[in-house]
Amino acid sequence: MSTTLKVGGITVTALNDGFNHLPKIAYAGLDFDAHPGLLHSDGTWHMPTACYLVQGDGFTVLVDAGTGPVQLPYPPQMAAAAGLEHAPEFIAVGGALPDELARAGVAPEDVDIVFLTHLHMDHVGWVAPNGGEPFFPNARVLYGAADWDALITPAPEGDLSRTVMEAARAAGVLEPVERAVVEIAPGVVAHHTPGHTPGHYTVQVSDAGQEVDLLGDTVQHPLMLTDRGIGFHADADGEEARKTRDDLFDRFTGRGVALGMSHQPGLDFKRIESGEDGPYWVDA
């Protein structure tokens, strides 16, 4: 198991900003009774919130920016709908990214580009924490243009994503992207993969015949590989999200490509192999 990979001359490191605590109802079609041990004692699935540090010759890119230095109270309506008698105090807890970067030897001013796979709250938090100044003072912040009107414009006043992104826009650091394929840095290319959100992108890192793909939120649970009927409550378009996810699974099966996923337990990189019973995960 590894949370750091060398891709030719590029280093990719998984960093964890915190955790989300989601109930069973967030995963439509997932039979938790058939998979004992998935849920914690509080009745929720604890999933990490990954950011990926991509370092190459002359560039430092951060893919996604975590939840930020916040603790979001558990929504009572979600707890009630999920039948959680002892819901966790918080549905999302962030704040670890600065220490994770420091352990990797990176200061906020070292980051050249922040690329946001999409604009959900657990991916944008450190861009401009709590609506303040940009945390990465020298970074351009790239994101899928389609997500602004879908997620930021209609969000209520005080919404975390809206607060953060509007502060970043006021600071003049945002650069929306619209093309199907966007070069971020040498060997680092983003691909439009809508479904989870309209402006969702995955990120391909390749050099010297090696490749790792960062899948963002196209995959929210590892069991989605073997049970293609599992859905996710936050997908903007469930059918499109499923098609995008299945296309990615099929494309990477048996290719030896390492995969990083925003909510993969342990944040270790995986590959997909194929056996008599179908595809399965292996450590990259």
Question: Which residue type is seen at 56?
Answer: G
Residue 79: its pLDDT value, please? 96
| Spatial distance between the Cα atoms of 28 and 57, rounded to a whole number of angstroms | 43
Structure tokens at 150: 């879908």
User: Burial level of 101, CB count in 10 A (0-12/13-18/19+)?
Assistant: buried
At 170-227, the pLDDT tens digits run 999 999 999 999 999 999 999 999 999 999 999 999 999 999 999 999 999 999 999 9
Judged against a pLDDT cut of 90, whether residue 235 lies above it is answered with yes
At 102-115, the pLDDT tens digits run 999 999 999 999 99
Average pLDDT over residues 151-175: 97
Nearest to 90 by CA among 72, 108, 107, 77: 72
Name the band, by pLDDT with cuts 50, 70 and 90, for residue 163: very high
pLDDT above 70 as % of the chain: 100
Within 145-234, strands assigned E span: 174-177, 181-185, 188-192, 201-207, 210-214
Name the band, by pLDDT with cuts 50, 70 and 90, for residue 129: very high
At 41-66, the pLDDT tens digits run 999 999 999 999 999 999 999 999 99
Judged against a pLDDT cut of 70, whether residue 1 lies above it is answered with no
Residue 83: its pLDDT value, please? 95
Name the band, by pLDDT with cuts 50, 70 and 90, for residue 2: confident
Nearest to 208 by CA among 184, 187, 181: 187
Judged against a pLDDT cut of 90, whether residue 127 lies above it is answered with yes
Q: What is the reported pTM?
A: 0.97
